[in-house]
Amino acid sequence: MVGAADAAGAARNPLAVGEVAAFVFKATPEPLPAFTFADGAGQPRSLADFHGKVVLLNLWATWCAPCRKEMPGLDRLQGARGGPTFEVVALSVDRQGAAVAQKFLNDIGVKNLRLHIDSGSRSLSTWAITGLPTTILIGRDGREIGRLAGPAEWDTPDAIRLIEAALR
């Protein structure tokens, strides 16, 4: 749940503009509850696996039209900026499993994102997600910097400025 302090912080933060104007900053970065999901090969993963990187965690589903629209920008962002200090983690909450989610990614031409799956959709309640897509920016220390509920073009200058600020 976003508190009044979080909403006030978003209103004052000059990085929440343009494509990411709806981004809500935490008043103070907070740890996300631990949660295990799977990678495309079915191996268990968690956010702790990305410790030391800035992570843009995107929760999505194949049946979500705004998710479909947003995914190419996330893919371009990962292709242009992904590496040892930053990663886009696209986490599907599709209950049909990895094969359906991977087919979706293939069908829309995603080349740079690795599939991660939460086929039980438990991440939604664990991380207090109220709609899809939702994207959470996580600092190198594993703490949530803030989140955006709804779609955005994540490879635009506004979004890149937001991410670059987290990388500093």
- pLDDT per residue over 74-132, tens digit each? 999 999 999 999 999 999 999 998 999 999 999 999 999 999 999 889 999 999 999 99
- pLDDT per residue over 44-62, tens digit each? 999 999 999 999 999 999 9
CATH number at residue 109: 3.40.30.10
- As a dihedral over the C-alpha atoms of residue 106, residue 22, residue 157, residue 86, rounded to 10 degrees, the angle is -60
- Specify the number of domains making up the chain: 1
Identify the domain containing residue 117 by its residue range. 4-167
Peptide bond into 66 cis (omega under 30): no
- pLDDT per residue over 122-168, tens digit each? 999 999 999 999 999 999 999 999 999 999 999 999 999 999 999 99
Residues sharing a CB contact under 8 Å with residue 156, sequence separation 6 or more, in sequence order:
18, 19, 73
Query: 35: exposed, middle or buried (C-beta count within 10 Å: 0-12, 13-18, 19+)?
Result: middle
Residues sharing a CB contact under 8 Å with residue 117, sequence separation 6 or more, in sequence order:
37, 38, 39, 40, 91, 92, 94, 97, 98, 101
